[in-house]
Amino acid sequence: MRMSSRKGRLSRAIATTVAAAVAIGTVTVPSAAADTPAATERQQLVKLVTAGGGSIVAGAAEAALCGTDADVHTFLTTQLPFMQETQDRVTVQRMLNSGGPATQAAANTALSGSITDVRAFLTTGWKQPWNDDVRIQITRLLSAATGPVVKQTANAALNGTIDDQLAYLGTGWQQAQDNDDRISVQLLVNNGGPNVKLAGNQALSASIEDVRQFLRNGFQVAQQRDEETATIAQLVALTQSAQARSATASQAAKDAAAQAVAAAAAAKASAQEAA
């Protein structure tokens, strides 16, 4: 209810001010003195409210506009400069909170200085630190890169314009990383076992998310299966080898037994002849 009443008062104040401005504009003025009339104090507040001017300034101007002419005059002459300075400092603080290291350092320096320093930062002082932060982001991506495409495109962006660098951060880096991920899968396929080859080729034929899923854990699962298959094959080979050795030893034992029987028969025959 209080908010509706306040909005009603504000609407009436703006309507009254606009009506007065129209009236002023419709007065016939000799051509020699046809200068634009100076805006009244209430018109100045209407401009602050409708143009925004920052949430702090607009909110305070709205409150003053609902008051008396004395309230309006007091706001413009004593409160507005303080409100504008506060709004400017809040804006720099927000840039500091969301900015990179270069922007943060420059914003801190501005906030530690005068309102002139703050406004100089807001006018043009933020640009170079912001450009530096863009380069810092790309340099970090380059340092963390493991694939050739990201390294190549990051270096190209760093050697380009600020527009090139923003485009790289926007979509170029992700495209380069996607290509590097596919290259990584292809290398694993080339050197992997049958399960790795199968899973890797399936990922390469699907989406980039499937490629990343293969790199996260699909490769490990496929490699374990290949190792298990290899282990089973090795166990089968060892068993077959043991069986073969056992058969050879058994045959050798049989041969030795046969030779022993033959030797015993020969000895018996020799003994009979000697008798």
pLDDT at 245: 52
pLDDT above 90 coverage of the chain, percent: 50
Q: 55 falls in which pLDDT band (50, 70, 90)?
A: confident
Instruction: Check residues 63 and 104 and name the one with the higher pLDDT.
Output: 104
Q: 96 falls in which pLDDT band (50, 70, 90)?
A: very high
| pLDDT surpassing 50 at residue 80 | yes
Instruction: Check residues 211 and 71 and name the one with the higher pLDDT.
Output: 211
Torsion, Cα of 140, 144, 147, 152 (10° steps): 20
Q: 261 falls in which pLDDT band (50, 70, 90)?
A: low
Mean pLDDT on 22-37: 40
Helix-helix angle 101-111:80-98, to 10 degrees: 160
For 264, the token pair is 């015993």
pLDDT at 22: 36
Mean pLDDT on 49-56: 70
The Cα 14–Cα 17 span in angstroms is 5
Mean pLDDT on 131-145: 96
CB 176 within 8 A of CB 150: yes
Instruction: Check residues 68 and 224 and name the one with the higher pLDDT.
Output: 224
pLDDT at 106: 97
Cα 187 to chain centroid distance, Å, stands at 26
* Nearest Cα residue to 64 out of 13, 17, 3, 20: 13
* Nearest Cα residue to 149 out of 125, 172, 132: 172
Give the torsion sign (CA, 16, 18, 19, 20): positive
| pLDDT surpassing 70 at residue 12 | no
Least confident of 32-36, 125-129, 214-218: 32-36
* Nearest Cα residue to 107 out of 125, 133, 124, 123: 125
What is the pLDDT of the chain when averaged over all its residues?
A: 79
CB 100 within 8 A of CB 40: no
For 55, the token pair is 């949430």
| pLDDT surpassing 80 at residue 37 | no
pLDDT at 62: 78
Sequence spans of domains, the chain: 1-26+38-125
Q: What are the tens digits of pLDDT across the range 174-196?
A: 999 999 999 999 999 999 999 99
pLDDT at 43: 82
Identity of the amino acid at 229? T
pTM of the model: 0.63
| pLDDT surpassing 60 at residue 10 | no
Tell me the DSSP string of the chain: -HHHHHHHHHHHHHHHHHHHHHHHHHS---GGG-PPPPPPHHHHHHHHHHH---HHHHHHHHHHHTS-HHHHHHIIIIIHHHHHHHHHHHHHHHHHHHS-HHHHHHHHHHHTS-HHHHHHIIIIITHHHHHHHHHHHHHHHHHH--SHHHHHHHHHHHTS-HHHHHHIIIIIHHHHHHHHHHHHHHHHHHHS-HHHHHHHHHHHTS-HHHHHHIIIIIHHHHHHHHHHHHHHHHHHHHHHHHHHHHHHHHHHHHHHHHHHHHHHHHHHHHHHHH-
Residues in Cβ contact with 222 at an 8 Å cutoff, skipping those fewer than 6 apart: 192, 193, 195, 196, 198, 199, 200
